[in-house]
Amino acid sequence: MHQFLVLTTQGITSGMVYAALALALVLIWRSTRIVNFAQGAMAMFTTYIALWVIQTSGSYWLGFVVALASGLVAGAVVERLIIRRIASGPPLNPVIASLGILLFLEAVVPMIFGGQIRGFPPALSFFGFKVAGVDMPFSPFDLFTFAGVLATMALLYALFRFTGLGLQLRAAAFAPEVARLLGVRVGRMLTIGWALASMVGALAGVLVAPVTLLAPNSFDSVLVFAFTAAVLGGLDSPLGALIGGLSLGLALSYIGGYMSSDLETVGALLILIVLLMVRPQGFFAGTSHRRV
Amino acid sequence: MSRFTSSSTILRHLGWAVVAALAAGVVILFVDPYPDYQLAEVALFGIAAAGLTVLTGFNGQLSLGHGALMAIGAYTTALLLRQSPTVAVPLVMLASVAAAGLASVVVGAAAARLRGPYLAGATLALAVGLPGVAIRFSKVFGGDQGISVPPIETPSFLGADFPPERWLALVSMVALLLAFVFLANLTRSRFGRDFRAVRDDEIAAALAGIRVAGNQVSAFVVSGCCAGLAGSLLAFWAGLTAPSGLGLPLSLQVLAAVVIGGLGSLAGAVWGAVAVVYLPQLSSSLTEALHLPGVVKDNLPLALYGAAFVVTMLAFPQGIQGGLRLLYRKLWIAIPSRRDI
């Protein structure tokens, strides 16, 4: 029973991380109809920057803030320099370009920071709470991850729902031509959208690195999980990304705990395939349509 | 020229294959063993890239999982030779092709229901996930250490001092040419036209009587068989089948060959394979000349692939073959181009 509880809290914690990275994919998909396969690699890059800051300054929170800020910058730069120039071409081209960014980052990061696997400090302790001498199945770190992702999502929701900028962002994604006619700077909105998405990705990186450890390719499987979570939720719905991430996190935690952790990626693949066969539009997508 | 090349498609392709075989044979016999070894690598990447270009360029399905299909071919070769070391090499390769073909029926059936990013994501999951199976079931697949593969035995009539690398290069080149004649004929046949029709407009293709799903599955199987053959050659080439060499980077390398060479052109697959094989060498001589540390040397090729993806997409979406075609048209503007895809 205790193992079940531990696996459940672990599943929820990693599920929140998948949900954050899935949210990054969803935000970009909503605005540009592109799946950014470089999302994981960009998070890896910002996490390395955070680690460097933490080691030089000795302050975890400074590294945390720097990671989020560099995520913002990285997203904006990628959109401005690369994606904008090819987004209007065949849909295959942005996919290939994002894979190029993935390869490039995974090769350049070890050149800068060294290729060995690094540990990454958690924000708060890994050790479980003790209440009246009994081990609780969750730790301060689990709580921090849960609350951090939830707070970020709430802030983003508020931004999109209640501010003028959010309205413009939604308009630019939903109907670019009309929005442009009404005076929305659509290009700038796309840049902001990519920056926000990549900041959420950077958050996911900082939160998952203490668990997966930090190596140039250690977020490959996290990206696969996040993509699966996003598809579970319909690729179009931020709430779907949250629920998809949580359910995937739980499922993979049970697979890893009761069977073998090497099978987690294969498990995600099976879930993805079955899901796409049964319900390709996911569980939370609004309208289903396919461009022909 | 077109008068005597256009009489029969298969004869024309066989003629080109004989010319290419003679040229490649001469080169392979006269260079040193190490360049032979690299030519074998070019040939195996050429096969895999040609298969992927049929799937992606002709049929419009993107696969990021071709490294996984190559892994299936490689493990079939390794396991078969471990069980019974005396099996003839062509049979081993055929078995690898069949195994990868079978796997692609499954993957293709799933892929036929998926479009664009969904397909890319699902095949990405395959590429990332499959090495985990080899590690998990280490009793069968040898775990992280992998399974060693004996070299292809050189036939005795070639003499005892005939280098094994040279024989491997000859075998790989023959496999490449066979695969190319097959694919070149296929893409000019009714199947190839159906592939392109489905790529360009699925609804119109369905209205014209093409079974879209079946067509997409068969494209995946053709492509997967090529990946299986390439994987078998890769096992012989590396002398080892291990999960570390068969992960996502391999899939992306094959994709790099296709993208750099020019999507949707078989000739482009060869240019791309040449680029993929010689780019790392170029970068390692560059790092040695500049006295850069080892970690740079190890990672520069991947960084160059990545940069090449982005630059190709930004500046030359048609790749090397597109550039050559443009050059050809500029130089012989008077000759109308005979066939365009």
pLDDT at residue B62, rounded to an integer: 87
Assess if residue A67 is contained within a domain: yes
What SS3 state is found at A89?
coil
Assess if residue A290 is contained within a domain: no
Higher pLDDT, A126 or A46: A46
d(CA A164, CA A160): 8
User: By the 8 A CB rule, do A40 and A214 touch?
Assistant: no
Interface check A236 vs B, CB under 8 A: no
Interface check A263 vs B, CB under 8 A: yes
Assess if residue A291 is contained within a domain: no
What's the predicted TM-score (pTM) here? 0.82
Pick the closest to residue A14 from A239, A236, A261, A284 (CA basis). Answer: A261
The partner residues of B240 in beta bridges, in order of sequence, read B148
Which element (helix H / strand E) includes B216? Answer: helix B212-238
- Condensed to tens digits (0 to 9), the pLDDT of residues A215-231 reads 888 888 899 899 889 88
Count of structural domains, chain A: 1
Give the chain B residue whose CA is nearest to the CA of A35: B117
From the number of C-beta atoms within 10 Å of its C-beta (0-12, 13-18, 19+), residue B30 rates as exposed
d(CA A254, CA A257): 5
Assess if residue A292 is contained within a domain: no
- Which among A85, A109, A269, A270 is the top mutation candidate for probing chain B, defined by the most B β-carbons within 10 Å of its own β-carbon? A269
The CATH code of the domain that includes A90 is 1.10.3470
Assess if residue A202 is contained within a domain: yes
Residue with tokens 């050189």: B154
- Condensed to tens digits (0 to 9), the pLDDT of residues A148-174 reads 999 999 999 899 889 999 899 888 888
Assess if residue A119 is contained within a domain: no
d(CA B264, CA A92): 13
Task: Tell me if ipTM is over 0.90.
Answer: no
Q: What is the 3-state secondary structure (H, E, C) of A10-24?
A: HHHHHHHHHHHHHHH
pLDDT at residue B71, rounded to an integer: 94
For residue B330, give Cα distances in angstroms to B312, B317, B318, B334, B338.
Answer: 21, 18, 16, 9, 15
Assess if residue A163 is contained within a domain: yes
| Chain-chain contact of A91 with B298 (C-beta, under 8 angstroms) | no
Q: Is the pLDDT of residue A291 over 50?
A: no
Closest partner residue to B115 among A105, A220, A290, by Cβ?
Answer: A290
The amino acid at residue B312 is T
pLDDT at residue B68, rounded to an integer: 93
pLDDT at residue B232, rounded to an integer: 95
| Chain-chain contact of B133 with A263 (C-beta, under 8 angstroms) | yes
Q: Give A140 to chain B, closest Cα distance, Å.
A: 31
Pick the closest to residue B130 from A6, A178, A221 (CA basis). Answer: A221
Q: How far apart are the first and last CA of chain B?
A: 20
pLDDT at residue B47, rounded to an integer: 95
Enclosing domain of residue A244? 2-113+141-278
Closest partner residue to A100 among B118, B120, B310, by Cβ?
Answer: B310
Assess if residue A269 is contained within a domain: yes
